[in-house]
Amino acid sequence: MAAVKTKAPTKKTAKQRAAKKASATMTPQPSKGATKKPRVFAISFASVYPLYVQKAERKGRTSAEVDEVIAWLTGYRGKVLQRAIDAKVDLETFFAEAPRMNPNAGLITGVVCGVRVEDVADPLMQKIRYLDKLIDELAKGKKMSSILRE
């Protein structure tokens, strides 16, 4: 009888087994050309606005001051702001359709949620952070002239 040669199993290291298992369960990565938008862009401004007002009011400020800050940054005033809230536009649309972004918005500096607003690469995310920073300054009790960079 002819002897059957079998290949002896090779021992794999734990690292090799883990790498093989990880590659088998990985989901395919999107192509480099396709970028996924952050979920925050899809949040409606109508859901964020009451939180801004609530934060300001907890610190003794008013909703009129919140509206003034929003108007300074975006140009949304009175009925136009209310229309944007009622229409429940997302943050991406809110900033894209802003009547007039303030040219002095670049003067807004500082940290929001551990991120420096002046270092944010995405222009839309930077605008969202600008608004967050202004509301934070309002809630911290800064003077309105200082908040509005006058």
Q: What is the CATH number of the domain that holds 96?
A: 1.10.8.290
CB 109 within 8 A of CB 117: yes
Q: Which of 82, 56, 81 is nearest to 71 (CA)?
A: 81
CB 59 within 8 A of CB 141: yes
- pLDDT tens digits, residue range 60-117? 999 999 999 999 999 999 999 999 999 999 999 999 999 999 999 999 999 998 989 9
Is 100 part of a structural domain of the chain?
yes
Q: How many domains, in total, are found in the chain?
A: 1
Is 118 part of a structural domain of the chain?
yes
Longest Cα separation, the chain: 98
CB 144 within 8 A of CB 65: yes
Residue for token pair 């002095």: 104
Is 21 part of a structural domain of the chain?
no
Expressed as residue numbers, the domain containing 79 is 39-147
Is 3 part of a structural domain of the chain?
no
Residue for token pair 């991120």: 115
Q: What is the model's pTM? A: 0.74
Is 108 part of a structural domain of the chain?
yes
Is 12 part of a structural domain of the chain?
no
Mean per-residue pLDDT of the chain: 84
